[in-house]
Amino acid sequence: MKIVIIGAVAGGATAAARLRRLDEKAEIVVLERGAFVSFANCGLPYYIGGVIPKREHLLLQTPKGFHDRYRVEVRVENQVEKIERDRKVVVVRDLKTNTVYEESYDKLILSPGAEPKMRYQEAERIFSLRDVPDTLAIKGFIDTKKPQSAIVVGGGYIGLEMVENLLKQNIQVSLIGSAPQLLNGMLDREMASFLHNYLRSKGVKIYLGERVEEIIDGEKVTVVTKKNRLQADMVISAIGVAPENQLAKDAGLALGVKGHILTNEYMQTNDDDIYAIGDACQVKYYQYPELETALPLAGVANKQARLVADHIMGINHPFNGVQGTSVLGFMEMVCAATGFSEKMLKNNNIPYKKVYVFPANHAGYYPNSKPLNFKLLFSPEGVILGAQIVGFEGTDKRIDIISTAIRAKMTVEDLCQLELCYAPAFGNAKDAVNIAGFVAQNYLDGLVDFFYPEDIENLRQTDGIFLDVTTKKEFEKRHLQGAVHIPIDQLRARMQELDKSKPIYINCAVGLRGYVASRILSQEGFKCRNLAGGLALYQNILLDQQNS
């Protein structure tokens, strides 16, 4: 059998290696239009920032190394120009010699990746970041020209990683995003506010909801939006990506509405002898297979590659969908998510409930304990739908646990009983995941009801009473306008000061004391709701809005 693979980065290289491990006799040819094979795409910004010190560390494999280990022929700078399905050949241009030749196949794997949705006209001070040559050009400019300021266009993963690594080079950075928030595909707006405020605290200027209309090169680069005209020593474009689908389109392979290649559960296209993997493919959600998306993440591409190699060799393991589990670090802060966001649930009319908790990442008495700003989404029946955490050390661990729980179709009750590692340096006896489960279970059991930051203005129009149960010192520092103040420890003795005929909207700092207060009052006949996330969430949202 002869297998030809188009693309030699994450998916293509993984498929080739797996194929060889399954069959020593198969002929495997990998065609890569670029000059590098199996490079660390996700590590590119960190080479620019000096975190990865040597260029060689980005190159996970070479054509010679691949051949020596796997007896796979990898041809770099060989661009496939056409797929002739009827003859089962691909037409290839050798970019080094500009000669054209044909390569036959029994099975063909497409792993072309994705390309920037828009590439601005590159010049001396204007760059895009997609591959190793782009990275070397940016690094070379920084090393030789010593820029003092930069503008990054794009508020996704690569954009934020570029901001971080430019800061490490002592470059002042402005960030422009077309969406109303950063990490729009990962986080809900209120969770992104923690990241927005953190970036501003590090000196980053953020411009959200602004599309770049023009970039003008000169002694300084000028970036023009509808609202602003910004200048800097360099500009890096790190906007979203679109599938590399031209080969598939020309070959008559089925595409989705946004141009992604359609496949079945074994990653076969509408041609049984052609498979597609990675960023160019349309995929289904694990929890709701009737919903489809695209997820340009290396982990997904690698899993698909393995399954395709298995299927070609007669081992049938279907790809059963994605959850969107992802993580991004910015300086010390970590943002991570899995499953559905609230935006996605609303857009798809999926019923849901939500809770917020702010537990510490490890025991509070152990040095450097920090909060995990944790949002949990679940169905009215308690099935876990998604989670987001914006925190610090330990964030990724908790999201990985929730991701596994989603894969196992667990409920919030299961979270309450998970037995997780505990030592003061690593967690708490009641882990953050357990606490999220406790709060969600209390909600479903009717032991507490919530109102949310987005409800506050409407509730002000009712005859309800806002009750603050924080300490006097906390109340003097911050409180909701018009709130009645009764510290939690005085509530039992002073509850007669409250009108039992009116709804009580309770708040504290993060929600815990509010829950205790709601239990005290509800058992005395009061109708209570607790502010989810407390003043910590509400005032963080306000701070973000004030600075936007």
pLDDT at 282: 94
Spans of all domains in the chain: 2-114+242-312, 118-239, 326-444, 450-547
Q: What percent of the chain has pLDDT over 90?
A: 83
The packing angle between helices 534-547 and 189-201, to 10°, is: 70
| Average pLDDT of the segment spanning 436-441 | 98
Instruction: Give me 218's structure tokens.
Output: 């000169």
CA distances (Å), origin 237, targets 163, 176, 278, 382, 466: 11, 10, 22, 42, 47
Q: Could you tell me the fold of the domain covering 2-114+242-312?
A: FAD/NAD(P)-binding domain (3.50.50)
**Going along 95-148, which residue ranges are E strands?**
99-104, 107-110, 114-116, 126-128
pLDDT at 37: 76
pLDDT at 122: 65
pLDDT at 321: 94
Output 114 or 109, whichever has higher pLDDT.
109
pLDDT at 120: 62
Band of pLDDT at residue 271, cut at 50, 70 and 90: very high
- Closest by CA to 529, choosing from 497, 508, 504, 509, is 504
**CA 36 – CA 298 distance, rounded (Å):** 17
pLDDT at 36: 77
**CA 41 – CA 299 distance, rounded (Å):** 12
| Average pLDDT of the segment spanning 71-89 | 96
pLDDT at 133: 82
- The one catalytic residue in 42, 335, 421, 508 is 42
- Angle, CA of 205, 206 and 211, to the nearest 5°: 130
Is pLDDT above 90 for 198?
Answer: yes
Is 92 in contact with 260 (CB distance < 8 Å)? no
294-342 pLDDT per residue, tens: 888 888 999 999 999 999 999 999 999 999 999 999 999 999 999 999 9
pLDDT at 499: 96
Output 89 or 60, whichever has higher pLDDT.
89
pLDDT at 107: 98
Is pLDDT above 80 for 39?
Answer: no
Mean pLDDT, all residues of the chain: 93
Is pLDDT above 90 for 119?
Answer: no
**CA 155 – CA 373 distance, rounded (Å):** 20
- Whether this model's pTM surpasses 0.85: yes
pLDDT at 402: 98
Q: Do 326-444 and 2-114+242-312 have the same topology in CATH? A: yes
CA atoms within 13 A on the CB side of 445: 10
| Average pLDDT of the segment spanning 460-473 | 96
* Amino acid at site 364: G
Is pLDDT above 90 for 35?
Answer: no
**CA 90 – CA 186 distance, rounded (Å):** 37
202-244 pLDDT per residue, tens: 999 999 999 999 999 888 999 999 999 999 999 999 887 888 9
pLDDT at 118: 64
CA distances (Å), origin 454, targets 236, 443, 517, 542: 35, 19, 21, 11
Name the superfamily (CATH) of residues 326-444: FAD/NAD(P)-binding domain (3.50.50.60)
| Average pLDDT of the segment spanning 522-537 | 97
Q: What percent of the chain has pLDDT over 70?
A: 98
Band of pLDDT at residue 63, cut at 50, 70 and 90: confident
On the 0-12 / 13-18 / 19+ scale of CB atoms within 10 A, 213 is exposed
On the 0-12 / 13-18 / 19+ scale of CB atoms within 10 A, 219 is exposed
Catalytic residue flag (residue 281): no
Name the superfamily (CATH) of residues 450-547: Rhodanese-like domain (3.40.250.10)
Which residues are within 8 A (CB) of 441 and not within 5 positions of it... i.e. 6 or more apart? Answer: 382, 412, 413, 416
| Average pLDDT of the segment spanning 516-533 | 97
Q: Name beta bridge partners: 203.
A: none
Is pLDDT above 70 for 121?
Answer: no
Band of pLDDT at residue 537, cut at 50, 70 and 90: very high
Is 168 in contact with 217 (CB distance < 8 Å)? no
**CA 106 – CA 104 distance, rounded (Å):** 7
CA distances (Å), origin 308, targets 13, 105, 149, 424: 12, 15, 45, 44
Is pLDDT above 80 for 245?
Answer: yes
pLDDT at 34: 86
Least confident of 131-135, 255-259, 345-349, 367-371: 131-135
Q: Name beta bridge partners: 236.
A: 127, 152
Q: What is the CATH number of domain 118-239?
A: 3.50.50.60
